[in-house]
Structure 1
Amino acid sequence: MTDRIGFIGLGNMGGRMTRCIVDAGVEVHGFDMQRAAVESAGAIPLGSSAEVAAQSDVVFLSLPDSKVVEKVVLQDAAFLSSLASGSVVVDLSTAAPSSTQRIHERLAEQGIAYLDAGISGGAAAAEKGALTLMVGGDAAALERVQPVLAHFATKVFHMGASGAGHSTKLLNNFLNAIALSATAEVMVAAKKAGLDLATVLDVLNASSGVNFATLNRFPKIITGDYLKGGLTNALMMKDVVLYVDHLHELGVASPNSSGPLASFGLAQALGYADQISNTVVDAIGDVSGHVRLHDPDPAGDGAARPTDTKD
């Protein structure tokens, strides 16, 4: 018997993952506070998370943070009572591993498997069904849901026990934040130094400074394409804070967290909170003499500030 699939949280990432599942010919029951998001993803709209649980054998979650996940899974009695013993909940959110482990223990009491599945690749990979997943939890449960995961992920790694997937996700996201914020600073400096930015990137990508941002983000950003649709500055800041909290729980020093905390904090303070995190380069540019890597106007006055235009 084929598992019935449910999806809760069909926003920027959840909607794209759901669309991949639906396009593969699999029926999905969905719930989101924005009903239009469910319909846009091609899922069958239901009126609550509990209704999705009642209609599904495997429930996917793609929610903003641990607080929201706990509100849905632990604090909604209707949701808990609607989950049948033997079902699987797959949490695709970016969440605190300690919270994940508490949820795992609670659901295990009802005979429900809980997998924490961190995702990487962003909106572009989600659109293509080419995400990377890092999963914690029961190996048998992961094997059971693998056919569904294959519709939106090309690489799936089993990281270990409950919480291991979300832990790995935070570690990866922190390195992403470091690369983006540090490269943004370097590129603003290159612009002010009068260097040709495309050539600077060629040098970095052939040298020891190469990273994901130099390879995949800034070749677009210097032409004015900020690759909209990905993680916002506010969400990037949230992920870095989660990382710092996680390291505190582990008893590990985090001296390198100050850079991205300062950079994405600056972006939020200057009005870029809800814009894609790549605009952190504009926030750094703002306090460096209103520098823009790409000048869309002949006068070279720079790109519009957040107060001038909205996404």
Structure 2
Amino acid sequence: MEVGFVGLGNVGSKLAGSLLRNGHDLTVLDLDQSLVSDFVARGAKSASTPAELMRLSDVVITCLPSPAASAATVRAMLPVAGPGKTWMEMSTTDVDVMKDLAAQMAAEGGSAVECPVSGGCHRADTGNISIFAGCDRATFERVLPLLTTLGRRVLHTGDIGSASVLKVMTNYLATANLLTLCEALVTMKAAGIDLNTTYEAIRISSGTSFVHETESQVILNGSRDISFTMDLVKKDIGLFQKIAAAAGVPLEISPLLIDIFEDGIARYGERELSPNIIRRLEDATGLSILAPGFPAQMTDEEPEAPGHEVVPKGQGVNKYHGKL
């Protein structure tokens, strides 16, 4: 299978690296030619346009920073996207944009899969990230071997649109967790509690979480580097708010999260690293939330292993799988 990949940024470069490391025939495309050159030096091929990439590939994966960027790329591929061609969207995107582009791909005879990832750049780098996949079951079965190379845990979420909604939801929850952790760390510092001890108290208790065990560490180190920026957080939580509003759900916490990140962007810039949202409280209190012994960047200590499908509890019999 010939695989094309568009978008070699923080997450995309790591996902594409997993494909290359595991022996897939890979052709890449990015606006930054230095990123393309690095992949070519490691054995990939390159294409100069999205249409050329689709022509050369059986499957084209996009991992881009915004729904607009994905839409422009896919529309450029559509004229050569016929039967036997598959587009896989690994960005966090707008569900309405995803559905529209998938319909256009189907009209040309191709297939579409929305497969956003969750778990952080450090897990994308080792192929241990989680993947949500929205598409019909037959298409899912066809691309599952590729998905289990890209990630460790793969969840078929249903039809096109379902994965985008679930991914935005998980990013909303992660953002809410980040902000409460910021408040907890600053409050403990102000109360005179040692921050190393605070970290462990959270980690071994009911207060722990994936966000704590990753982002709290780079906050305490001072690097605040998880390769994710405030503008991307604002985009994701804004998409979640849009879903809730369309469904008529009167959220109370979500608008507050948006306000906090809008304020953070106004203060520190849209490309500021997202864990540095804690600076709002550091500035307000004059406290420095740092502690020794924590890493500047997260690394995945779990060894790379073959991925597998995650089956939701309570599912019955599926004609493709037999008993689930």
TM over 0.5: yes
Map of 2:314 onto structure 1: none
Q: How does 1:19-38 map to 2 (within 5 A)?
A: 19-38=17-36
Is contact 1:116–1:162 with CA below 8 Å preserved after alignment? yes
Map of 1:294 onto structure 2: 290
Residue 292 of structure 1 and its aligned partner are, at CA, apart by 1.7
Does structure 1 residue 269 correspond to structure 2 residue 270? no
Residue 163 of structure 1 and its aligned partner are, at CA, apart by 0.5
* Amino acid paired to 2:289: L
Does structure 1 residue 63 correspond to structure 2 residue 61? no
Is contact 1:28–1:44 with CA below 8 Å preserved after alignment? yes
What secondary structure sits across from 1:291 in the alignment? coil
Alignment TM-score, normalising by the size of structure 2: 0.84
Residue 141 of structure 1 and its aligned partner are, at CA, apart by 1.5
Map of 1:304 onto structure 2: none
d(CA) in 1 for partners of 2:179, 2:142 = 39
Residue 198 of structure 1 and its aligned partner are, at CA, apart by 1.9
| Partner deviation per Cα, 1:181-215 (whole Å, 9 max, x = no partner) | 11112211211222111222333334333232323
Deviation larger for 211-220 or 179-188: 211-220
Is contact 1:5–1:28 with CA below 8 Å preserved after alignment? yes
Map of 2:281 onto structure 1: 284
What secondary structure sits across from 2:4 in the alignment? strand
Is contact 1:113–1:138 with CA below 8 Å preserved after alignment? no
Map of 2:2 onto structure 1: 4
d(CA) in 1 for partners of 2:16, 2:121 = 13
| Partner deviation per Cα, 1:121-147 (whole Å, 9 max, x = no partner) | 111001111110011112222222222
Residue 225 of structure 1 and its aligned partner are, at CA, apart by 4.4
Q: Which of the numbers 240, 244, 248 marks the counterpart of 1:243? A: 240
Q: Give RMSD over aligned pairs.
A: 1.8
d(CA) in 2 for partners of 1:106, 1:248 = 26
d(CA) in 2 for partners of 1:180, 1:124 = 18
Map of 1:54 onto structure 2: 55
Q: How does 1:74-85 map to 2 (within 5 A)?
A: 74=75, 76=76, 79-85=77-83
d(CA) in 1 for partners of 2:221, 2:85 = 48
Is contact 2:47–2:53 with CA below 8 Å preserved after alignment? yes
Map of 2:167 onto structure 1: 169
* Amino acid paired to 2:89: D
Map of 1:44 onto structure 2: 45
d(CA) in 1 for partners of 2:117, 2:291 = 34
Deviation larger for 209-218 or 249-258: 209-218
**Unpaired runs of at least 5, structure 1:** 297-311
Does structure 1 residue 232 correspond to structure 2 residue 229? yes
What secondary structure sits across from 1:72 in the alignment? helix
Q: How does 1:91-110 map to 2 (within 5 A)?
A: 91-110=89-108
Is contact 1:6–1:29 with CA below 8 Å preserved after alignment? yes
Map of 2:316 onto structure 1: none
d(CA) in 1 for partners of 2:220, 2:244 = 34
d(CA) in 2 for partners of 1:284, 1:267 = 11
Identity of aligned residues (%): 26
d(CA) in 2 for partners of 1:258, 1:189 = 23
Residue 229 of structure 1 and its aligned partner are, at CA, apart by 4.3
What secondary structure sits across from 2:125 in the alignment? helix
d(CA) in 2 for partners of 1:122, 1:46 = 28
Is contact 2:196–2:291 with CA below 8 Å preserved after alignment? no
Is contact 2:78–2:104 with CA below 8 Å preserved after alignment? no
Is contact 1:181–1:259 with CA below 8 Å preserved after alignment? no
**Unpaired runs of at least 5, structure 2:** 293-324
| Partner deviation per Cα, 1:45-78 (whole Å, 9 max, x = no partner) | 211111101100101000112111111223x3xx
Q: How does 1:112-123 map to 2 (within 5 A)?
A: 112-123=110-121
Is contact 1:31–1:52 with CA below 8 Å preserved after alignment? yes
With a CA cutoff of 8 Å and minimum separation of 6, indicate the structure with the bigger relative contact order: 2
d(CA) in 2 for partners of 1:248, 1:199 = 41
| Partner deviation per Cα, 1:129-177 (whole Å, 9 max, x = no partner) | 1110011112222222222222220000000011111111001000000
Is contact 2:265–2:272 with CA below 8 Å preserved after alignment? no
Is contact 1:93–1:118 with CA below 8 Å preserved after alignment? yes
Does structure 1 residue 129 correspond to structure 2 residue 130? no
